[in-house]
Structure 1
Amino acid sequence: MKKNKKLLMLLSMILAFALIVVGCGKTTTTDNSDPDQPKDTGSVKDTLVVAQGADAKTLDPHGSNDNTSSRVIKQINDTLVVQDENMELQPGLAESWEKIDDLTFEFKLKQGVKFHNGEEFKASDVKFTLLRALESPHVGHIVGAINKDGIEIVDDYTIRIATTEPFAPLLSHLAHTGSSILNEKAVTDAGDDYGQKPVGTGPFKFENWVNGDEINLVKFEEYHGEKAKVAKVKFRNISEATNRTINLETGEVDIVYDVLPTDVKRVEEDKNLVLMRQENLSTTYIGFNVQKKPFDDVRVRQAINHAVDVDSIIEAVMQGVGEQANGPLGPNVWASNQKLVPYEYNVEKAKELMKEAGLENGFKTSIWTNDNKSRMDIAEIVQNQLKAINIEAEVKVVEWGAYLDGTAKGEHDMFILGWVTVTGDPDYGLYPLFHSSQFGDAGNRTFYGNTKVDELLDKARKSADQAEREKAYLEVQEVVRDDAPWIFLNNGENVDGLRSNVKGFVQHPAGHHRLGSVYFE
């Protein structure tokens, strides 16, 4: 009997164990778990985590024109016209457009488009947006050619936009993130907080922002175009570039923007990661505040150009990423003057120019940079090289938002920054940076002005003759090169790292990559 009882107990235990094993291996519709606990559904992850080197300054498209903010704004908003990854113009919120005369375009708007707050997109939103943008010190130059009295609503889905004078690059400017279409009710309701509570028509809508840390977006289910393929996007601020790479390796982030040159090989050799590289529309430079002594003397600016060994900087810091710039426009922007000769590294020539300027004993100054590893390294190298001509330069690392504000106000001496010719048109790569009407926030943080440059830039943006425009832009670049408001460093690349299971990511030459097509394998 005892043996039979033991046998029965043993059989019962085996049967119970078998049921447990089978139960663990099958799918069931019964869910008896605690509803307050997260469930492992076994599905592919639904949150795309993207890391970049700074927090956005604002999510108001009219509140800033920095690259970090624009990358987030691009996900939330749409523009009338879109420039695709080949920089070709495509329909956006405008289904079609027609040139009525030398000053006027008529746009037929897409119907049935919803803003994230449920409001319907109409021509009145376009008019409101453009009038508001015209008043912005940050993006006013982008739409500045538009005549504020020349915006005519024909009906809810037709609008005419006229410029004060002929303006050849109008369509490409309307594709800029600064021309993102806003909803008047949303802007009015949010008031001064709109930059923290944005509302657009894009594939993702704003969820929340932990300042200095992360911005969270969620899929907009009523999007008028192809719906986003992930449920959420999280933008994380990881200022230290190597930490971004480490987070990519550990899987804490899925995409890293601006992989540090020293980390390129590290990403390439990791079988779980993918490195993507693409020549972009950016140029990195060191600018002088030409309104401050002694930088108001062109000989001092030229001397510093000769004293800085740009080749060694690119080799040591950039390590093969990008190439040396010989002017303000990269080779993939049309009308880029690739015949310009870079300043020769020549310390003796630099000393001669300093002596001519009465400054052979040098002076003290400062170099501003934000907390970008590459830029900090560049600043330190330049700091050391300038000692050869008796210039004592202090490197000041400034938080990104304060950096933009301070350089806009002219508080700096020298500074390191980049500019992206987002539209691909030379007007955008030259006018905001070198026209005397664009001091400060608009882009001209060197406060450089030259009457000849102003005349040529004004002439080029009004002309409909492409050859005439090109001639003017080529000359502008020659004058700027000789006046030396910049030390021309390098033309850049998009260098982005991805987890290998991230698919559908396409780089954009402007660096504002749309994420709606991205999904997990």
Structure 2
Amino acid sequence: MLKNKKFMSLLAAVMVFALVLTGCGQGADQGGGTTEGKDSIIVGQGADAKSLDPHATNDQPSSRVMKQIYNTLVTANEEMEIVEGLAEKWEQTDDKTWEFTLRKGVKFHNGEELKASDVKFTLDRMLASDQVKAIVEAIDTVEAPEDYKVVIKLKEPFGPILHHLSHTAASILNEKAVTASGDNYGQEPVGTGPFKFVSWQSGDRIELEANADYFEGAPKINKLTFRNITEGTNRTIALETGEIDIAYDIEPIDKPKVRDNNKLELIEEPSLSIAYIGFNFNKEPFNKKEVRQAINHAINRNDIITAVLNGAGEEAGAPIGPRVFGHNPNIKPYEYSVEKAKELLKQAGLENGFTTTIWTNDNPVRVQIAQIVQAQLKEIGIDVSIETLEWGSYLDRTSRGEHDMFILGWVSVTGDADYGLYNLYHSSAKGGAGNRTFFENAKVDELLEKGRVATDASEREKIYFEAQEIIVEESPVANLYYQTQNVGMQSGIQGFKLHPAGHHRLYGVSY
């Protein structure tokens, strides 16, 4: 139930905002027509890719495109099971050594054959990247003793190494192509995947074409296009008119339109994602725990889930969700209490509140969350202004620590607590690697490092339970909700499956 008149007014404002977006969407190009026998598919998503170099970024829109261009050594399927990728078999020869046997005859899009030297080049390059090295930091050395044999030696035993090697950031590159392109590689990628890069109109679309020589067989479609359609309502309109075939992340207000349209289909499942508000530890007054905890108490998460998500989310307590190994179910969401929030501000010497900013990218759901949080924090004397940035600029500037507060999400892509916690809360991952709060806690660092090398599942779980308790107490973020994920598509689409990590594989999709 809606709790009070203030919330009713806020909900009305959010609905007006949504209606404005709907009005803006009326200018979308009109499509339609028959889809039978189409040999191309257009996908709409909420932001353009930042780069198609797997080592230059670790954001969702980029990863969703890269998933089609590249392959990894091993693959995590839709059930998060590890299956063959570019490696046809592998074995662990001791607690720190893994040997992989590559498929023979696999060709990169430039015609070069995949060799073990490409794998070594890729993983060495990944280890040198500040953006993604944390994903494979457990690796000590990579050797290529034979053309089709790769030996990976770890610094210490590391249980989830195969899931980390299935991450899109660990996509295997061709050394010759990367060297030839130099700094431009992110705009002219070369992989082994089912689709080859054709062109990129920045801010608009990325064009891919079928790789007829793909080692699993040619795709069922000849052309795949990713469209950047920032406004969620415009994505839905594009889907309704047939301008696009698949729309990622249908917004809550638009889901009934898709669900009730017999020409469309909506699929929705729980994900590995969490949405949160981060606080910059390097800026006052967010260096005070009482301030961070006060904001946590001042946020009514249920109101956000009701007003913005139409109920499609679960209030978040622990910093990783229930589908992620190591999730601590004993941690409950911060209690919504204006009184407690005001008392904590008083303890921090800020009884009269303060002025600050909250950043979001140009994502309508996040903008609406910012508006609700702005109103809620006003009740405890915090005057918040909202700044909306373009996605690439948002990632760059938050990685440099220019913000006060920011709204983001994190996907525990590997399904393991290490990935869900290390990148966001270990001091070595500050900035673009994931820790955009610039949080640092020696005990948390120690526990996350222990969790990486422990091999017993129950021991790892105990370690991660403790780490999460400290993180929630220190409050570098306000965990908002565990997210569901959805996709809307034309009813004639066949072969599409949601991936829990959100990087949906489009090989095998057709009309």
Q: TM-score range by the shorter chain?
A: over 0.9
Cα separation, 1, equivalents of 2:167 and 2:120: 16
Which position in structure 1 is the counterpart of 2:14?
none
- 1:504-519 correspondence runs (5 A): 504-519=495-510
1:42 CA drift (Å): 11
Which position in structure 2 is the counterpart of 1:135?
128
1:278 CA drift (Å): 1.0
Which position in structure 1 is the counterpart of 2:112?
119
Which position in structure 1 is the counterpart of 2:93?
100
Cα separation, 1, equivalents of 2:138 and 2:153: 9
Greater CA deviation, 40-49 or 376-385? 40-49
Which position in structure 1 is the counterpart of 2:378?
387
Which position in structure 2 is the counterpart of 1:171?
162
1:43 CA drift (Å): 7.1
Which position in structure 1 is the counterpart of 2:4?
none
Which position in structure 1 is the counterpart of 2:453?
462
CA contact (8 A) 2:427 2:445 kept: yes
Q: What CA RMSD, in Å, does the superposition of the two structures yield over aligned residues?
A: 1.2
- 1:6-21 correspondence runs (5 A): none
* 1:340-390 deviations in Å (ceiling 9; x for gaps): 121111001111100010001111110000010110000011011111111
Cα separation, 2, equivalents of 1:284 and 1:241: 17
* 1:96-136 deviations in Å (ceiling 9; x for gaps): 11111111100011101000000000000000000100111
- Matched to 1:44, the amino acid is G
Cα separation, 2, equivalents of 1:339 and 1:48: 44
Which position in structure 1 is the counterpart of 2:304?
313
- Matched to 1:183, the amino acid is N
* 1:17-65 deviations in Å (ceiling 9; x for gaps): xxxxxxxxxxxxxxxxxxxxxxx99971111000000000000011100
CA contact (8 A) 2:220 2:510 kept: yes
* 1:203-235 deviations in Å (ceiling 9; x for gaps): 000000000000000000000013211101000
2:204 is the counterpart of 1:213? yes
2:414 is the counterpart of 1:423? yes
Cα separation, 2, equivalents of 1:178 and 1:265: 35
Pair 42,174 (structure 1): closer, same or farther in 2 beyond 3 Å: closer
* 1:219-274 deviations in Å (ceiling 9; x for gaps): 00000013211101000000000000000000000000000011111111111100
Post-superposition, which runs of at least 4 consecutive aligned residues in structure 1 deviate over 6 A? Answer: 40-43
- Matched to 1:261, the amino acid is P
- Matched to 2:338, the amino acid is V
Cα separation, 1, equivalents of 2:143 and 2:372: 54
Cα separation, 2, equivalents of 1:376 and 1:225: 42
2:157 is the counterpart of 1:144? no
TM-score, length-normalised on structure 1?
0.91
Cα separation, 2, equivalents of 1:329 and 1:154: 39
1:417 CA drift (Å): 0.1
CA contact (8 A) 2:272 2:415 kept: yes
2:264 is the counterpart of 1:273? yes
Which position in structure 1 is the counterpart of 2:67?
74
TM-score, length-normalised on structure 2?
0.93
2:282 is the counterpart of 1:291? yes
Which position in structure 2 is the counterpart of 1:411?
402
Where 1:440 maps in the other structure, the secondary structure is: coil
2:429 is the counterpart of 1:438? yes
* 1:296-327 deviations in Å (ceiling 9; x for gaps): 00000000111111111111001121211111
- Matched to 2:339, the amino acid is E
- Matched to 1:220, the amino acid is N
Which position in structure 2 is the counterpart of 1:89?
82
1:290 CA drift (Å): 1.3
Cα separation, 1, equivalents of 2:218 and 2:460: 40
Q: 2:247 aligns with which of 226, 239, 256?
A: 256
Gaps of 5+ in 2: 1-32
CA contact (8 A) 2:35 2:492 kept: no
1:289 CA drift (Å): 0.5
Gaps of 5+ in 1: 1-39
- Matched to 1:128, the amino acid is F
Pair 96,41 (structure 1): closer, same or farther in 2 beyond 3 Å: same
Cα separation, 1, equivalents of 2:264 and 2:311: 20
Q: 2:340 aligns with which of 345, 349, 362?
A: 349
Which position in structure 2 is the counterpart of 1:63?
56
1:335 CA drift (Å): 1.4
Q: 1:374 aligns with which of 365, 389, 393?
A: 365
2:485 is the counterpart of 1:494? yes
Pair 403,41 (structure 1): closer, same or farther in 2 beyond 3 Å: closer
Percent identity between matched residues is: 57
1:168 CA drift (Å): 1.5
1:72 CA drift (Å): 0.1
Cα separation, 2, equivalents of 1:349 and 1:41: 59
2:478 is the counterpart of 1:483? no
Cα separation, 1, equivalents of 2:133 and 2:323: 25
CA contact (8 A) 2:316 2:332 kept: no
2:223 is the counterpart of 1:232? yes
2:463 is the counterpart of 1:472? yes
Cα separation, 1, equivalents of 2:410 and 2:226: 22
